[in-house]
A and B are shown apart, each in its own frame.
Chain A
Amino acid sequence: MKFVEFKSVFFLLIAVMLLLVGCSSSAGEKSDTTKDGKVKLRFATWDVGDDVTLQQDMIDKFNESHDDIEVVLESYGSEYDTKITAGMGAKDAPDIMYMWNYPQYKDALEPLDSYLEKEGDAYKDNFYETLWNYNSADDEILGLPVGYTTHVVYYNKALFDEAGVDYPKSGWSWEDLQDTAKKVANKDSKVSGFAFSGKPDPYDFEMFLWSNGTSYVDKEGNLKGNLNSEKSVEVFEMFQNMAKDGYAITTEGSGTTEMKSGKVAMFVYGAWGLTPLKEAGIDYGVVELPAFKSGKSVSILSSSGISISKNSKHKDEAFEFIKFWTNEDANKERIGFELPVLKSVVESEQLEQDEVKSVFYSMLEQSDGYTPASFIVEDWSKVSENLQYTFESMLNPSTLMNPKEALNSAVE
């Protein structure tokens, strides 16, 4: 009898719960306008700390100048992808969001081509062309470029001076890099000539294959004959040999930690390293990536854009905001955090003359026309996981798999 009673209370509570859920969802539909009749837009950012403060200031400016729109910033931090994913699953995604992994989220994002047409060609042309490729999926533009980084070689000036070696110069080759690394490396003071990830992110690593005239997949997305091509094997053999020879080390993370320690002469990284390395007191220089003998110096892009949710009820207002977010003033405001993406801003701020930042722009200009495998392969996240495993098996010092065999088995 006790049980029966408990059951009835239990069902009563379930009913209460369902009622609550019902209420909250109907309340959610109402909340896209504020009390004073403004259109309310939710904007999700992945940034943390000072970047968010800056973003809030910029949003305040936007809200002041727009009587009919109010943008609310939601800062998701490092759990960004998880929260966006969950939001999309619950049909409660923010109206506007930062975006980088377009192929994975394409079904939930609003295509922007028709909006851009209205703005005219001059508007679109002011952005660097390469960036549009990275902010699209399936030939549809899904986001406006906000920031980007190419990859460059950072070098520790102090270690070069100590070893009496000239700083690397643009137009160098991987052989030059190896020679330089050997010269700067010093067993006694535990200085390594070059550091690279022993567990590279497959997305980033593809640039080395491009640079040697190949890629993971062909246009149809086939790994076979591409990932295990001779030229691809060459790239992996080169990296494996660098680690085997002892003048270079493989790192557990990106290599920033090792570079910060002041015991590493060179490593490849994006613009994310600029501030942290400076704060760690490393006097560094940057130079374009080296090229393979028969190839050219080319980098993959890590780009960030701003997108509109397909489920947003106020897409025109949202587009108004993302236009604001990518205009010249906004690019200038963000200059301490992001490399500007507008040609006019790069010119007016004279970034082409900047010793450090110009390197990222020249890498950007010479990297046009490449499409990362993540934009071609349908289930990239799975493929990427397998690739990462394969790369690690070649570069991990306790396995050091033969590249040819490893890549052959990876394409199967």
Chain B
Amino acid sequence: MRNITTKKTKSYQLVNRKVPYLFILPWIIGFLVFTLGPLILSLIMSFYNWPITSEPTFVGIDNYKTMFTADPQFYKSIIITLKFAAIFVPLNLAIALILALLITQPLKGMKFFRTIFYLPAVVSGVAISIIWGWIFNSEYGILNYLLSFLGIEGPRWLVDPKWALLTIVIASAWGVGIMMLIFYTNIKGIPAELYEAAAIDGAGPFRQFFSITIPSITPTILFNVITSVIGALQQLTLVLLLTGGGPLKSTYFYGLYVYNNAFKHHQLGYASANAWFMFIVILVLTMLIFKTSSTWVFYENEVKKEGKKGRRKNENIKRI
């Protein structure tokens, strides 16, 4: 009996569910052909030695072995990339949040600044690299020229290995616009009553920021942390075009390492193994961040269900 009913509901559900799948079919096909397909192929490739111009040969886990035991550049690149992420992610979040707060202020000309801040996000990475190449040029660049007015002799940004990583951080942070916009829309969505109530209770702007704004946007912070961690670990365009990994391999990021192994050294199998390792690292990191999120991310419905009684009372009052 039970079987029949389940079958019935199942076939009913299937028919009923065909339509939505039909709508997302273009995306699904795109995902399978251009994302999942290559993903699986690269996993298979990582067990082969494939010099591209000739036939691939199966080598088992040799690529992974070489990577972990016989390639010092592998570890160097990981360390550089992690260092970059450790500086870039917090900095980027802070700048995006500050800018988002600034552009939510009801002042004249805010639309103009909003556009200006967002503009770098529209410019292609290649153009950004070229522009920063000019700005950072130590002999003729505008940055050191401006610093000279302050009596500072600017560092050799792209030549000195000590400064190069910071140079990339600065250039990357310029593309903060998208993250700023996400924060902005979220902050705009916080009900004004909360701030009014807080103001009546005597909370100053700082208290309001830390007790209302920050808790309200924690889901967005979580999202931005995850996307920028992933972005930082995959950074390639800037180092490829701005520094080429130099000076003295000080910006030889993992992304560039993979890219060069594949397209410069023609070791497609080895590069696939590299890429899979990074994929797993990112996966684990993302999972860790998600795990910790339950302790610091607050969702609205969570508050409604489990929130303090006082607040619930307030809400009831509002509803009435």
Contact = CB atoms under 8 A, between A and B. Distances in A.
Interface of A: 1, 5, 9, 13-14, 16-17, 20-21, 81-82, 85, 88-89, 104-108, 198-199, 249-250, 252-253, 257-258, 261, 263, 379, 381-382, 385, 389, 392-393, 396-399
Nearest to A79: B263
A389 B248 contact: yes
Interface stretch (B47-55, B110-118, B212-220, B289-297): B47-55
Given A21-B37, A261-B140, A393-B248, A398 B162 contact: yes
Interface string B250-278: 00000000001011111010000000000
B57 to A, nearest CB: 14
A199 B247 contact: yes
Nearest to A4: B10
Interface in B38-52: 50-52
A17 B25 CA distance: 12
Given A89-B268, A108-B54, A381-B266, 7 more contacts: A5-B10, A85-B52, A108-B52, A250-B159, A252-B137, A261-B140, A263-B140
A138 B17 CA distance: 62
Closest 6 CB pairs of A and B: A107-B53, A108-B53, A17-B32, A89-B52, A398-B160, A381-B265
A379 B161 CA distance: 27
Nearest to A398: B160
Contacts of A399: 161, 248
B140 A379 contact: no
A152 B51 CA distance: 36
Contact of A398 (B54, B156, B244): B156
A107 B160 contact: no
Give the contact-size bracket for chain B. Answer: 35 or more
Most-contacted residue by chain A among B51, B139, B246 (CB, 10 A): B139
B54 A107 contact: yes
Contact of B29 (A17, A82, A382): A17
Given A104-B266, A392-B246, A16 B29 contact: yes
B13 interface: yes
Nearest to B32: A17
Given A14-B32, A20-B33, A257 B53 contact: no
Nearest to A260: B140
A345 to B, nearest CB: 33
A308 B113 CA distance: 54
A399 B244 CA distance: 18
Contact of B159 (A14, A82, A108, A396): A396
A398 B137 CA distance: 16
Given A105-B53, A107-B54, A13 B29 contact: yes
A392 B248 contact: yes
Contacts of A5: 10, 13-14, 17
A382 B70 CA distance: 14
A105 B262 CA distance: 14
A344 B244 CA distance: 41
A105 B162 CA distance: 37
B69 interface: no
A141 B153 CA distance: 53
B247 A392 contact: yes
Contact of A199 (B10, B54, B246, B262): B246
Nearest to A382: B265
B248 to A, nearest CB: 5
19 contacts: A1-B10, A16-B29, A16-B32, A21-B33, A88-B52, A104-B53, A107-B51, A198-B159, A198-B247, A199-B246, A253-B133, A257-B137, A261-B140, A381-B264, A381-B266, A389-B249, A392-B247, A397-B156, A398-B162
B21 to A, nearest CB: 6
A9 B247 contact: no
Given A199-B246, A199-B247, A397 B159 contact: yes
A27 B143 CA distance: 54
A262 B13 CA distance: 74
A278 B133 CA distance: 22
A252 B263 contact: no
A360 to B, nearest CB: 27
A381 B139 CA distance: 30
Contacts of B54: 107-108
B138 interface: yes
B13 A252 contact: no
Contact of A85 (B32, B162, B263): B263
Given A5-B10, A88-B53, A199-B247, A17 B140 contact: no
A16 B17 CA distance: 18
B53 A252 contact: no
Contacts of A393: 248
B96 interface: no
A393 B247 CA distance: 9
Nearest to B259: A82
